């Protein structure tokens, strides 16, 4: 779910600010922006975010104001080492090819933090600021989550209602088919001195009833709806669990559509699948 949180912590004589922005995403994606003098700590911040955040796309921005932290330095040693490695790779793969020095000048590995930087103190400040930002973000996401849950529940109730309508309609399908077949045979045999073969009629009806029976699918749908509603009340990360149940719900609705040749039921199934898709779109926003 979307949201924003910000946290601050003291570092030396300065102030460290960390901002955390969350966007909807099916997987976990972390993007970190650090000031040049703290660039070496980007990996630490990213790992911190991966340990404490669920799925979604998160932008983490860090700022440092005040204090006497020295500026970052360009590492000549690293530049020499990286350029030498590139030349060795060139000689092995493409002898004679040009390797411009600009190939290494933009690499973040060449920027190093000041040697006298208090790394442990910096990490404690980053951790504290991240915790404040996460709490701020979570508070905003709780509000959004409640609204999202209410919307999903509304679509789920509509699915249940449609499932009941399908079941009620399906209950009279065999008798309706019996009446249609009998009427059709009577028209075909009208004027002929023949009678309807009752045994054959029952045989055809039995075949039709077996092919169009959706009682099991409707029963499983009811079970899936109950499980989904229960999972929606769960704590922690529930998004993937909800997605799995939705796959099962979609599978049952597809089976019902393929087994029933009744036009009104087909229309109800279309409405059901529309509601399922609406739920699926919203569930992708659930952690």
Q: Where are the domains of the chain?
A: 3-72+109-141, 73-108, 146-177+213-283, 178-212
Architecture of domain 3-72+109-141: 2-Layer Sandwich (3.30)
How far is it between the farthest Cα atoms of the chain? 110
Segments in the chain below pLDDT 50: 70
In the prediction, which pLDDT does 34 show? 87
Which helix (H) or strand (E) covers residue 27, if one does?
none
Q: How far apart are CA 95 and CA 124, in angstroms?
A: 48
In the prediction, which pLDDT does 84 show? 82
In the prediction, which pLDDT does 157 show? 93
- Please count the residues of the chain: 287
In the prediction, which pLDDT does 261 show? 74
Which helix (H) or strand (E) covers residue 104, if one does?
helix 102-105
Q: What count of other Cβ atoms lies within 10 Å of the Cβ of residue 60?
A: 22
In the prediction, which pLDDT does 61 show? 92
In the prediction, which pLDDT does 208 show? 63
Q: What is the pTM of this model?
A: 0.62
CA angle 182, 255, 233 (to 5 degrees): 130
In the prediction, which pLDDT does 270 show? 92
In the prediction, which pLDDT does 207 show? 67
Q: Which CATH number fits domain 146-177+213-283: 3.40.50, 1.10.3470, 1.25.40, 1.20.120?
A: 1.20.120
In the prediction, which pLDDT does 174 show? 67
In contact, 81 and 67? CB cutoff 8 Å: no
In the prediction, which pLDDT does 195 show? 67
């Amino acid at each position: 779910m979307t949201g924003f949180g910000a946290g601050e912590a003291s570092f030396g004589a300065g102030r460290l600010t960390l901002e955390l922005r969350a966007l909807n995403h099916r997987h976990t994606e972390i993007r970190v922006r650090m000031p040049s003098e703290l660039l070496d700590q980007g990996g630490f911040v990213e790992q911190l975010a991966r340990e404490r955040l669920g799925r979604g796309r998160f932008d983490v921005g860090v700022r440092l104001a005040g204090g006497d932290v020295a500026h970052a330095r360009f590492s000549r040693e690293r530049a020499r080492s990286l350029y030498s490695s590139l030349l060795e790779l060139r000689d092995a793969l493409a002898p004679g090819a040009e390797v411009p020095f600009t190939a290494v000048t933009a690499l973040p590995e060449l920027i190093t933090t000041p040697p006298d930087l208090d790394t442990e103190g910096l990490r404690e400040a980053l951790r504290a600021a991240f915790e404040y930002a996460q709490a701020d973000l979570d508070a905003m996401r709780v509000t959004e989550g409640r609204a999202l849950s209410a919307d999903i529940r509304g679509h789920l109730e509509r699915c249940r209602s449609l499932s009941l309508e399908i079941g009620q309609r399906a209950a009279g399908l065999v008798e309706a088919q019996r009446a249609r077949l009998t009427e059709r045979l009577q028209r075909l045999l009208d004027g002929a001195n023949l009678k309807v073969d009752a045994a054959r009629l029952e045989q055809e009806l039995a075949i039709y009833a077996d092919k169009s029976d959706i009682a099991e699918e409707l029963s499983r749908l009811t079970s899936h709806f109950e499980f989904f509603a229960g999972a929606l009340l769960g704590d922690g990360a529930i998004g993937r669990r909800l997605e799995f149940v939705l796959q099962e719900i979609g599978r049952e609705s597809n089976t019902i559509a393929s087994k029933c040749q009744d036009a009104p039921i087909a229309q109800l199934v279309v409405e059901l699948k529309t509601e399922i898709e609406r739920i699926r779109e919203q569930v992708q926003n659930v952690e």
